[in-house]
Structure 1
Amino acid sequence: MSSSNPQHKLHVMFFPFMAYGHMIPTLDMAKLLSSRGAKSTIITTPLNSRILQKPIDVFKNLNPNLDIDIEIFDFPCVELGLPEGCENVDFFTSNTNVDSNYMAFKFFMSTSFFKDQLEVLLKKTRPDCLIADMFFPWATEAAEKSHVPRLVFHGTGYFSLCAGYCIKMHKPQNKVASSCEPFVIPELPGDIVITQEQIIDGDNESEMGKFMIDVRESELKSSGVVVNSFYELEPDHADFYKRFVAKRAWHIGPLSVINRGFEEKAERGKKASIDEAECLKWLDSKEQDSVIYISFGSVACFKNKQLREIALGLEASGTNFIWVVRENTDDKEEWLQEGVEERLKERGMIIRGWAPQVLILEHQATGGFVTHCGWNSLLEGVAAGLPMVTWPIGAEQFYNEKLVTQVLRTGVNVGATKHVKAMEDDIISREKVEKAVREVLVGVEAEERRKRAKKLAEMAKAAVEEGGSSFNDLNNFIKEFSS
């Protein structure tokens, strides 16, 4: 590490949004920086600190000399108008007795309570920089008061950031006759086709729309952006982003690849709802590339009608599978009443809750991944060299789907056409599920997709090794903020 003061140890402070999809890559980032000689401090709340402490302890046991710690901020939920214990998005996305849209907005707004605590901590500790989540727009101003550079972490890749920027600048969705009419995103490299129903709602007049304007403005005033991606995955969009969107950005991913050991991979996120060894033993009994893995991330929670269609589609496909079903507080599992699970138990495994996803994706028996196209899952699939069935649900997931299907050409779409406002909307039929699963696993085109996916996996691993594109960008980052 180069520094104007050879005794100086770079201190990076991290402040992730309180959701698994944001906390997991932030933890990986903190581990990565500390493994390169920096001191890493993660700011979070009391309940979330318990989620982070176990993997940090595992990491410290493997690397006793490395410096990584947690700083806990007060978050009085009830005083802020939230239910007791509502310190993580998981609280209201897995609880069907609350209005999750209302609760989400209330939760976003409540995080500004951290601003004063952050100002006090930065003034006291004077870290070299603060990497704060995009959803904390007030962090830029808080950091400025202590002359600490604030960097933004989005938790997504260059492609979706560029797509969002081009749509915001040119508003092509206003020039089509209907919400389902396809159009090309202006100026975005690659002639990417999308519909109005698939873009992130740009309603600037809504409360959430106004909040997102604050997010964008605070990013423009920040010291730059840290991206969980690697150059070879999206080179045209990395160049476009650095030229037109944010003049300063560093790509340091894929972050999931830094988890080398079995326990690190197994403990990524929550404790798995299944014994990891039992799961791997089951996979060991299957042929190479014969198993499809189905998971929709930590937020999406399908209702019985859709779960039934997935189950019957998997049955009709004749394929081996591991399927992760989110636990639902009011789910009576009516979708299993026709004896589906009993009929499928020889060639299928249903995991209720949390799965050891990285271990499953990396297993040689796993041949494809049905994913909601959340960026963490997508990158884990890329790093494992897997072709994908894309099933976006919301957020920037349709942009990520276009990257997989139109740019990388390593996936097939299941037929999702628009953002799902309620999980009863737009049911994907069993026929579509069966067709997509077969298409991604079998045939000449499937083999071509698999070859492309394997090549990307090699590039992903090379990017983080010494001399790789992400390794070098991280070096540049360390040099800049150490001096």
Structure 2
Amino acid sequence: MHSHVLVFPFPAQGHMIPLLDLTAQLAGAGLTVTVVVTPKNLHFLDRLLAAHPTSISALSIPFPPHPAIPAGVENLFQLPPEAFRFMLHALGELHDPLLRWFRSHPSPPTAIISDLFLGWTHHLACQLSIRRYVFSPCGALAISIINSLWCEMPTRRNRDNDDEITEFPKIPNSPFYPWWQLSPLYQSYVEGDLVLEFIKDSFRANAVSHGLILNTFSELEAVYLDYLARELGHNRIWPIGPLTPPLEIGAVGRGGSSSVSISKTTAWLDTCQDRTVVFVCFGSQTLLSNKQLEELSLGLEKSGVRFILVVKDKMESDYGVLPIGFEDRVAGRGVVIRGWAPQVVILRHKAVGTYVTHCGWNSTTESIAAGVPMMAWPMGADQFVNATLIEDELDIGVRVCEGTEAVLGSDDLARHLLEATSHKWMERRARATALSKAAQDATTRGGSSFNNLDHFVSHLSK
């Protein structure tokens, strides 16, 4: 029997890309998939719909108006970080239109797979007497922390001390973080923002949904996957990552258009020696201040290393402006890409040896899959947790800075860059290479993630 599933991604680049990669795999495994999007996000499905015209269809539902979201904006990467909660609320208004669609559809989906941030879809699934599966675009340790926050509600003793430590003793390796590094949504809720009651309910609904699909792999986070199974009280947990596409489908046009063509970038990389290039990129949401960029550019210049630096194409007076003359001074040795970069292609090139990253989970898993060790500068969300894995547990990287306000001095950066590209990182590089092999094994026939995906598809068909 062919199963029909509804897939509902959260409209932020780091969330949509992995869930759409999974959607392609589900369609390839013989499932019929309907993907929920709002009209302005429909173009993200172009490649999927072209590749799977008979098995994937789009359900485009008008974006619910919200007083705090400008008209015409329908995804998070067009909004400042503080608008995140409004996006969650607005999308919650899609409950009734979806319910009507299900009830009028001649052969409606028998399951919902929706993003971690759309926990309310669990209630929709209950109303329809079908199952809802959580898709987590972040790792098992990060989900363990998120669940722990919203289900156990830790607080701090001193409301004025942002450095007060919050501990998670039940989670393996007993992670702990200063208060300021915890979820801003959670901090606001605990400090009396009742507007977030809906969001608390949404996160708690994840813990009682029928199953959990994660963009990670058993060999990477086994201890946390086991913990989640104990906490959730069932084994319906499917780590099916890393969800990075094969290079031939490659990342081409996967997230946007770039100011430099992929062929031009790879041609430049082909002229560099193996593992000598440093890739510097802070994801789709982070905007560096001019001061941060100035020190970053100076550090790259002082270090003498070869590099690719990705900067946002939206420049504001205090953000995103490179120092005058920088590009001329590093011509030949460094490449600056404005806007979106073909990250998967760059990371997998043999010339790239180090990645300066904000530790978003997609970037982390793409780096692991490519066997590239990291210089970590976590900025927010689950990134501090991912930095724990990178540095403290896997030892495939080093934290060089933390937080959106911090400035990494150019001398410190130059020192880190020279170490990362020298023999001092040999063992770290060897560990990254071994993990890359494990990631590849996991996703090829007979591997853990490959088998988990297979198992999930047959579970849906029952």
Render the CA deviation track for 1:368-388: whole Å, top value 9, x for unaligned.
Answer: 111111111111111101100
Tell me which of 108, 111, 131 is aligned to 2:88: 108
Aligned 8 A contact 2:140 2:228 in 1: yes
State whether structure 2 residue 10 is matched by structure 1 residue 17: yes
Render the CA deviation track for 1:42-81: whole Å, top value 9, x for unaligned.
Answer: 1101111112213542x34xxx7x622221111154x766
**Displacement of 1:170 after TM fit?**
8.1
SS of the residue 1:288 aligns to: coil
**Displacement of 1:15 after TM fit?**
0.3
**Displacement of 1:328 after TM fit?**
2.2
Letter in 2 for 1:415: C
Aligned 8 A contact 2:147 2:204 in 1: no
Counterpart Cα distance in 1 of 2:45 and 2:69: 22
**Displacement of 1:155 after TM fit?**
1.2
Aligned 8 A contact 2:358 2:383 in 1: yes
Render the CA deviation track for 1:89-121: whole Å, top value 9, x for unaligned.
Answer: 12224xxxxxx52x3332221112211121123
Task: After TM superposition, list the pairs within 5 Å mapping 1:362-381 onto structure 2.
Answer: 362-381=348-367
- Tell me the equivalent position of 1:162: 144
Counterpart Cα distance in 2 of 1:218 and 1:188: 20
Which region of structure 1 is more displaced relative to structure 2, 145-154 or 29-38?
Answer: 145-154
Counterpart Cα distance in 1 of 2:337 and 2:211: 40
Residue-pair matches, total: 454
**Displacement of 1:435 after TM fit?**
2.6
State whether structure 2 residue 453 is matched by structure 1 residue 453: no
- Tell me the equivalent position of 2:392: 406
Render the CA deviation track for 1:144-185: whole Å, top value 9, x for unaligned.
Answer: 222221111231010112234456648485499954366764
Cα gap change, 1:296/1:148 in structure 2, threshold over 3 Å: closer, same or farther?
same
State whether structure 2 residue 131 is matched by structure 1 residue 145: no
Which region of structure 1 is more displaced relative to structure 2, 146-155 or 211-220?
Answer: 211-220
Task: After TM superposition, list the pairs within 5 Å mapping 1:118-129 onto structure 2.
Answer: 118-123=98-103, 124=105, 125-129=107-111
- Tell me the equivalent position of 1:270: 256
State whether structure 2 residue 192 is matched by structure 1 residue 234: no
- Tell me the equivalent position of 2:407: 427
Tell me which of 417, 421, 434 is aligned to 1:441: 421
State whether structure 2 residue 78 is matched by structure 1 residue 91: yes
**Displacement of 1:438 after TM fit?**
2.4
Letter in 1 for 2:102: L
Aligned 8 A contact 2:314 2:320 in 1: no
State whether structure 2 residue 460 is matched by structure 1 residue 478: no
- Tell me the equivalent position of 1:200: 183
**Displacement of 1:305 after TM fit?**
1.1
**Displacement of 1:338 after TM fit?**
3.9
Counterpart Cα distance in 1 of 2:195 and 2:395: 34
Which region of structure 1 is more displaced relative to structure 2, 138-147 or 12-21?
Answer: 138-147
Render the CA deviation track for 1:177-225: whole Å, top value 9, x for unaligned.
Answer: 9543667641322244532332224333224643431122221332121
State whether structure 2 residue 267 is matched by structure 1 residue 287: no
Cα gap change, 1:266/1:208 in structure 2, threshold over 3 Å: closer, same or farther?
farther
TM-score (norm 2): 0.91
SS of the residue 1:299 aligns to: coil
Point out which structure has higher relative CO (alpha carbons under 8 A, 6+ apart).
1
**Displacement of 1:399 after TM fit?**
0.5
Which region of structure 1 is more displaced relative to structure 2, 460-469 or 382-391?
Answer: 460-469
Aligned 8 A contact 1:166 1:186 in 2: no
Counterpart Cα distance in 1 of 2:11 and 2:320: 32
- Tell me the equivalent position of 1:313: 299
Letter in 1 for 2:458: K
Aligned 8 A contact 2:289 2:318 in 1: no
- Indicate the RMSD between aligned Cα atoms, in angstroms: 2.4
Cα gap change, 1:222/1:163 in structure 2, threshold over 3 Å: closer, same or farther?
closer
Counterpart Cα distance in 2 of 1:281 and 1:381: 21
SS of the residue 1:363 aligns to: coil
Task: After TM superposition, list the pairs within 5 Å mapping 1:323-338 onto structure 2.
Answer: 323-331=309-317, 335-338=321-324
Cα gap change, 1:242/1:73 in structure 2, threshold over 3 Å: closer, same or farther?
same
Counterpart Cα distance in 2 of 1:439 and 1:193: 28
- Tell me the equivalent position of 1:82: 69
- Tell me the equivalent position of 1:5: none
Tell me which of 46, 61, 66 is aligned to 1:53: 46
Counterpart Cα distance in 2 of 1:271 and 1:294: 18
Q: Which segments of 5 or more consecutive residues in structure 2 lack a partner in the other structure?
A: none
Cα gap change, 1:335/1:134 in structure 2, threshold over 3 Å: closer, same or farther?
closer
Counterpart Cα distance in 1 of 2:198 and 2:359: 24
Letter in 1 for 2:199: M
- Tell me the equivalent position of 1:180: 163
**Displacement of 1:433 after TM fit?**
2.0
Aligned 8 A contact 1:55 1:264 in 2: no
Render the CA deviation track for 1:275-334: whole Å, top value 9, x for unaligned.
Answer: 110010000000000001111111011121111111001111111111110122424888
Counterpart Cα distance in 2 of 1:217 and 1:157: 18
SS of the residue 2:251 aligns to: helix
Letter in 2 for 1:145: Q
State, as a whole percentage, how many aligned pairs show the same letter.
33
Cα gap change, 1:192/1:353 in structure 2, threshold over 3 Å: closer, same or farther?
same
Letter in 1 for 2:426: E
Cα gap change, 1:403/1:173 in structure 2, threshold over 3 Å: closer, same or farther?
farther
Counterpart Cα distance in 2 of 1:443 and 1:342: 30
Tell me which of 465, 472, 481 is aligned to 2:444: 465
- Tell me the equivalent position of 1:3: none
- Tell me the equivalent position of 1:33: 26
**Displacement of 1:431 after TM fit?**
2.4
Counterpart Cα distance in 2 of 1:117 and 1:21: 26
Counterpart Cα distance in 1 of 2:306 and 2:283: 20
SS of the residue 2:79 aligns to: helix
Render the CA deviation track for 1:413-445: whole Å, top value 9, x for unaligned.
Answer: 1121x4x3xxxx22222223223322322233x
Letter in 1 for 2:410: R
Counterpart Cα distance in 2 of 1:334 and 1:227: 33
- Tell me the equivalent position of 2:61: 73
Aligned 8 A contact 2:156 2:164 in 1: no
Aligned 8 A contact 1:10 1:482 in 2: yes
